[in-house]
Structure formats: structure tokens, C-alpha cells
Amino acid sequence: MEENKQCNSMDNCEVPSKKVIEFKPPVYEQRYYFVKNLVNRHGLRKIADLGFGDATLLWMLKYHRCVQYLVGVDVAARPFEWGGGRLSPGVGGYIVPRELDLTITLYRGSAVQKDSRLCGFDLITCIELIEHLDSEDLAKFPEVVFGYFSPGMVVISTPNSEFNPLFPASTFRDPDHRFEWNRTQFQTWALDVAKLYNYSVEFTGVGDPPAGAEHVGYCTQIGVFQKNIAKATESSISEPEEHVPEEHIYEVVYTTSYPSLQQSKYFRLTLSSESVKAIGLMKSRFLRGLRKREGDRVVPLGSCTPQFGLTEAQRAEIDQSPKPYSVGEKFYVPLERLIIYPKVNHLVAGSMEKLRTILAEGLRLNGDQSAVQVELVDYQTQRLFDEHLISPVLES
């Protein structure tokens, strides 16, 4: 919940002439969450952040399932700062791989330099960037970002100078700012850019003013630009020419790729892991429950279906499938049953042939390849025997 309020503050035991405004969460976080929600709402796949700073926004976006390519560009980026850290996959990224590939690349470069590797993105974000540009670079900015890079969407945030009088120091918010626009100035500039490059633009912001000061608008004003696809083919401005040669101006300072289920190695490991997990749960319930002998097989009298992590409909479907059984010291789980488990089913997209082929590479199947075969008693289930938790087999 966002909450902005005024609070008293003291500096060197003197009471300031103005109250300090506190934003909850802080305005910088609100800006990042705005982008995060936009990405989630539109399912954006390929995103670049110009002026990425400490890469907090990129770090937040890497957790989105839809995101596959993240790029950061900053004039101050240095290679030795990005040898790993929070943009790397980490151990968890290998234990639970992503559904889709993800590559993160950081460049040292300027937002007003043309580099063909940034062309055609779904979204380019410029969070508190344009106010740091001098007049010459600001004049180049629209042609590079909207004309040359030509992304599907652009998000630009910048301070709203009308809000500044509410702060104790009503000058520029940062000494590096070249300008700070009011709402009319920003919207006039944005509308002109949108018209020139065939984009539509909507205005919003983050950082609500305190009660009684609603007339000043948001602390941070935001323009969300969206390419007019229908008009793009009619314009020579909004799309870079196809014959323009590749330009690699930026210097790569960091790049990493994440394990994913699109990669055969991690897909097979994950499918085997989920299958073994499901088999282990079934075997545990099989050994704990009453069983009876049918010929050379021992079959459960009750359900071997886990009671947690499944819907009633899923449990009912599993219960109606062929039951697991044991023969001697071997335990068998029919593939027809295993494929109904949601995670396994999702991984193979319901394909029995795919499940059979991949499991046969790392697990043992029975003679007709209709069931997975494992040891009935292993180091885990031995505990059930040791603690006398094994139920008897009833003779038929």
C-alpha cells in the first residue's frame, strides 16, 4: 500500500521551515514497480533499461517468467563491478530452472549512441534519465530511441518540477540534473516525439502529493509510449532502414545466461527429478498402506495418491489410473499414472511417448516400457521398516 505523508524533521537542532515528505514505499521503488507491473501485464519478453545504475530494475525483472532478454546500458558501467552478484543465476537457478531462456547483458555506452543490438525490443525504459542529458544529447535522444531502436513500448520517467516547492529545498533534486520540467513541458515534448515517430503516449506518474496539494500532480511524471503498428509501415522515421549495417558501439561489461527448460540438459534433469519425486511419494504411501497379493504382484488396497499439492479433480484422475505395484523387491509405477501428475504432465505437454523416451535414458523401465521400475526398499524406505511403519501384506 502506498502512503505519502509529511513529517517533522530537525537538522542541527533547528526546526526547518518546511516539512519533509515521506513516500511509502520510496518513490524510486514505486517507479520500478510501475515498470514491473507493466511488463507483467503485457507479457513483455525483450527489455532494455537505459541508464541502469545499480541494476535494481533489471534484477526485479529477471524474476518474470515472460522475460527472456534483459539489457542495461549506462555510461558509467565498469566491467569489474559486474563479475557476478545478483544478476547471476545463483544455485537456485540450477535447482529449479526457468521455463524460458534468459540472457542478461550490460553495456557501457550512452543512450544517444546508436547500437544495432538494441533495435526491435519490446520495451525500452528510461527511468530518471532524460533530465541528466544536456541540450545537445536531448535533441539526439528521440531519433536514437524512437527512430533507430524503435521498440514496441518506451517508458520515460522524469521529475515533476511542480512538486518541488513541497520539498525543503525547492531547487533541482539532483545537482547533475540539467533541467526539471513541469507537466506541460514534459507532455508537450512527449506528444511532439510521439507524433514524429508514430507512437501514442499516455501520461501518469508515481508519488502522490500529500493532502491539500493535489494540484501539483505526481512527484514523478511518467510517459508510456506505444508504437502505432498500423502506421509504422507508412513511415520512414519509425523503423530503421533494413539495409543499415550493424553498429556495435557499446562495450560489453557483463553477460550471463540462465539454465532453462528450453535447454535439453536441464529439461531432462528436471523431468527425471519430478518423476522420481512423484514415484517416491507413491512408494511411501504404498508401503504404509494395506496391500494384498494378486498372483506375483502386490497391489495397494487403498490410494497411493499424495493428499497434498493436488486438487480433488487431480487426485480423482490419478486414483482412476493403473495403480503402482510391487513384484519381489521391485516397485513399479505405470507411466499412465505418472503422466497425470501435474508437473510431469506440464513438462511433457501430455505426451506419453516423450515421457517414455526421456525416462528410459536415466531410469529403468519394465519389459514393455509401460512402467518405471525402482527398488522397493532403499535407504529412505528402510526407515519405514526400522520404525515398524510398514503395513502387512494381506493374502488374497
Q: What CATH number is given to the structural domain containing 133? A: 3.40.50.150
**Grid cell for residue 244:** 543499415
Confidence of residue 315 (pLDDT cuts 50, 70, 90): confident
Distance from the first to the final alpha carbon of the chain: 63
d(C-alpha 149, C-alpha 301), whole Å: 65
Confidence of residue 82 (pLDDT cuts 50, 70, 90): low
At position 196, the amino acid (one-letter code) is L
CB 37 within 8 A of CB 24: no
- On the question of pLDDT at 392 being above 80, the answer is no
Residues 191 and 93 in one domain: yes
How many CB atoms within 10 Å of residue 355? 22
Residues 280 and 203 in one domain: no
Q: Output 382-385 pairs: Cβ under 8 A, ≥24 positions apart.
A: 384/284, 384/287, 384/288
- On the question of pLDDT at 396 being above 70, the answer is no
Residues 209 and 331 in one domain: no
More confident residue, 7 or 140: 140
Quick: pLDDT tens for 129-177: 999 999 999 999 999 999 999 999 999 999 998 888 777 766 766 677 8
The contacts of residue 393 (CB under 8 Å, 6+ apart) are 291, 292, 293, 298
Residues 116 and 145 in one domain: yes
Task: Indicate the pTM of the whole model.
Answer: 0.82
Residues 225 and 96 in one domain: yes
Confidence of residue 106 (pLDDT cuts 50, 70, 90): very high
d(C-alpha 110, C-alpha 122), whole Å: 20
More confident residue, 395 or 298: 298
- On the question of pLDDT at 275 being above 80, the answer is yes
Residues 184 and 297 in one domain: no
Q: Which residue has the cell 514505499?
A: 25
State which residues form the domain around 23.
3-257
CB 85 within 8 A of CB 63: no
Total domains present in the chain: 2
Residues 240 and 285 in one domain: no
d(C-alpha 383, C-alpha 130), whole Å: 65
Residues 288 and 244 in one domain: no
Residues 30 and 59 in one domain: yes
Residues 74 and 143 in one domain: yes
Domain-ending residue, one of 257, 272, 306: 257
Task: Give the pLDDT confidence score for residue 73 in this predicted structure.
Answer: 97
Quick: pLDDT tens for 201-251: 999 999 998 888 889 898 899 999 999 986 544 443 444 445 556 889 999
Quick: pLDDT tens for 25-45: 999 999 999 999 999 999 999
Q: List the one residue out of 316, 312, 313, 294 whose CA is nearest residue 303.
A: 316
Residues 157 and 172 in one domain: yes
- On the question of pLDDT at 17 being above 70, the answer is no
**Grid cell for residue 229:** 503498428
